[in-house]
Amino acid sequence: MQIDPRGPRFAAALTTLVLIAVLLTGSGLLLALQAVVFALGTIGGLRRSPYGWVYRTLVRPRLAPPTTTEDERPPRFAQGVGLAFAAIGTLGFLTGVAWLGLLTAGFALAAAFLNAVFGYCLGCEMYLVVRRAQGRLDPTP
């Protein structure tokens, strides 16, 4: 499935704001809600993500059509990576290991910020590395 590449960048901007709030407040609940957003994007696809819905409904109609599209799989994989960090961080907050929650939220924030501001998706790059490694390990195309 092809997507408008501006959608994931918009979602990354919202994620950046949420994760800044997590770091400022130390809120495990807020990080858990962000984990749910990541889970919906990972399992249901970017169009089922709440941020995807906001982009598609409120932002996209006000923009010119995209000049290019991109494969949904790398950003969807990136949502899964974000989910892993947010889930570990939420577990840290819930078990009283606040430093773990803050550390993982900080890593997720760095990745979201890079995507939102510079269009560089760390999770997407990880997807490509994994796919290349699979290609070397699996002789069938």
**Domains of the chain: which residue ranges?**
2-61+70-137
pLDDT tens-digit readout, 36-84 = 999 999 999 998 999 999 999 999 999 999 999 999 999 999 999 999 9
Burial of residue 90 (CB within 10 Å: 0-12, 13-18, 19+) is buried
Distance CA 6, CA 54 (A): 12
Structure tokens given for 10:
């918009």
The pair phi, psi for residue 3, each rounded to 5°, is -130, 160
Full-model pTM: 0.92
Model pLDDT, residue 134: 86
Contact, 7 vs 60, CB < 8 A? yes
Distance CA 80, CA 123 (A): 8
Model pLDDT, residue 135: 83
Which is more confident, 136 or 87?
87
